[in-house]
Structure 1
Amino acid sequence: MLSIKNLSKHYHEKTILDDVSFDVQAGEVVVLLGKSGVGKSTILRILTGLETKDSGSIIFDGQPLVTQKVGMVFQDFNLFPHLTIEQNIMLPLQKVAGKTEQEAQNIADQLLAKYELSAQAQLYPHGLSGGQKQRVAFARTLAMQPQLICCDEPTSALDPLLTSKIGQEINDLALQGLTVIVATHDTELIKQIKSTIYLMKSGKIIEKATSQGLIDNPDQFPFIKNFTQGGTFDTTNN
């Protein structure tokens, strides 16, 4: 289980995260929902070691979280443009995980097959569609065998069909027993994921709902309902 308690972060005099707390069980997906600038991505960056927290605790399976257990799927994919798709997956396996070239290639080939990208293995990122790049990003993250996966706006610039496919990929990760945190403002994506949803405003969590609870009783969660339905007023600005 991942347990985040009283997490705070400031940049100069601006509060980015204000006493944020939530738990995530193994095999659970948590969605951090909200507009840009509310602190969603900052939480992910702290979990992956790309940012430092000012205060609070992050405990994973009873111990302080170490970044080696965390994988990140970035909003802009962060693929190396000068490497083939296969090489993009192999490189961290060799440089970070210490795999031999053959071991790394075997893992890469298995994941490319899983994500239906074997035919693109020798292409470079510029030759792929947005959906294909996103699947490569998932494959590269899974290659390192993380226990916690963070996804930052994983469906930005994708069409509804690809959004549905990415939603299914996230559900599959949870079924494998992984802990998954998704930061998004994509209201279509959350319809595809079985998750616990935390709506954020100004660095705080202002409402919590399960995806099933939101379907069954949307009026119990007025802020999330308004956000997901594109209401005539923005409750997150109240």
Structure 2
Amino acid sequence: MSVRERSKEKEKESEKKEKPREEPEEEVVTKKSPVQHVPEVTVKEDVSVSEAQEERTVPEEVTVEPQEILPPWGSAEDSEWMYQVPDREEDREMWAEEWSDFILGWMESQGIHVISITTFITERPFTDIVGKTDAFKVLGDRLVEDDVAQWVGEEKRQLRVYWRPLEDWADHIYRWALETGSMRLDVKSIVIQQGREGFGRLPEEDLHRIMELLIERGYARWVDKERGAVVLVI
């Protein structure tokens, strides 16, 4: 080998040494996420619940009885002495005064104007009184003495109680007639058509007296006095 050839051979070897080593490209490995197998869930309708909802019915309407009204002294268990007619006259007067005041308020709250012995012995709290028949007469006499009641019949089995004076009823009916435009009034129509109004349950003889009061006050004039029919005067 000549000198020139040796020099070229050395140059080639040096070039090989100086040439940087090429690093192999990194292999990008894409890792595949393992496939997750979700178990299939089958939702079954609760047949019993759905059927119960379909079969659900509207509850029946419950009739609420009116609340029992007791006197200030309570029931017979609370004040036993108030449920017996006292023997002493002085005690009887005080006893009758307390009970008569309660009867006035009780009848007004019930919207009734006549109380009978039958009602007295069957309605609480009166039914708890010992000797109810005698008590009814004692209390009725006391209310009559106070000019707020009147016996119906000589047998004293019914008592008309005036927890509102007829004069007040006359004013009430007159205002009601003006507000409702009922310019003609008669007793029969009031009794038949106005039962829901407080005055619609008044005894007919009281309604006749009220018509007379409307005439006396100049609120009305007669159309038929026998029928208790009037027409309002404005």
TM-score w.r.t. structure 1 length?
Answer: 0.21
Higher helix share: 2
Q: Which has the higher contact order (CA 8 A, sep 6+)?
A: 1
Relative to the length of structure 2, the TM-score reads 0.21
Q: Which protein shows a greater Rg?
A: 2
